[in-house]
A = this chain, B = another copy of it.
């Protein structure tokens, strides 16, 4: 049983039936594969109730293409349904978990991450960042919630021990506050939030849903995204920069990384022309399909297109994507981010 199946079989997530869901590419291509209470969210959405997206981001590393599907999901709901998107950025978590040395570094990383997110195309009028150090009022809400989280719970959920520091032990309360904040009257009074996340974040959401119930707040709905593979076919990680295309990579650097990517090709071009390639194991195939909605399966299995051509096609698309992104990023300032920080008595349109 792999980790995707485990969330369904052992941890109560429900499979998404792509045929009966929304007309959105990441439902169809299987990246969004499981959910918690998404049906309830969809019902509220369709009945015109006030709902919002809450989707956290962690500033411990730079954004890469693996983050794109979740961001595109958030963006889809913002563009198609006009939803407000709340983006909590866990600056203090990366500090308490000792991923960084100082709080100042966490704050700086968070502002850069927020610039990236705005450059990704989010509407500043409908996007609200929560950065702990700039929005310390989040801690008051975390304190409101924390009485319902015991040390046992965080030990069981995260494997913490008595040698864990008290900040890390407390942080799940902040994370619950992050995703539940849009429910509060002074932050919009939404009836329900939807949290699209990678599956590695599911433990936070299981705990946040439990905290919500214990505090008589509506449990957040969750959409669970599969991981994009790294260029080497293994798990993508910003800590292996050669296997991940960073959104701030020079397009030429990105092209070189793509040229070394793991594919489903044969030993020789001749053999591939004759027998066809294997798209099911091919990273380039997956990137083209998931990120650029381009399906070369038929041509690949028939041997009508070979790996070099696919790599060039992907590199061209990535180049355009990165140029567009980086061009927008260059115009986004720290002040733009600060204008999007969440404020009390938020008036939403």
Contact = CB atoms under 8 A, between A and B. Distances in A.
Contacts of A155: 162
A317 to B, nearest CB: 41
Q: Is the interface of A mostly helix, strand, loop or mixed?
A: helix
A223 to B, nearest CB: 27
Contacts of A160: 151
Interface residues of A, number: 35
14 contacts: A95-B143, A95-B147, A96-B147, A133-B140, A136-B138, A146-B167, A147-B167, A148-B165, A149-B167, A150-B165, A150-B166, A151-B169, A152-B163, A155-B162
A144 to B, nearest CB: 6
Interface in A264-315: none
Which of A92, A148, A161 lies at the interface centre, i.e. has the most chain B CB atoms within 10 A of its CB? A92
A343 to B, nearest CB: 14
A103 interface: yes
B162 A150 contact: yes
A263 interface: no
A151 B170 contact: no
A173 interface: yes
Contacts of A144: 95, 103
Contacts of A137: 136
A173 B162 contact: no
A141 to B, nearest CB: 9
B173 A167 contact: yes
A136 B140 contact: yes
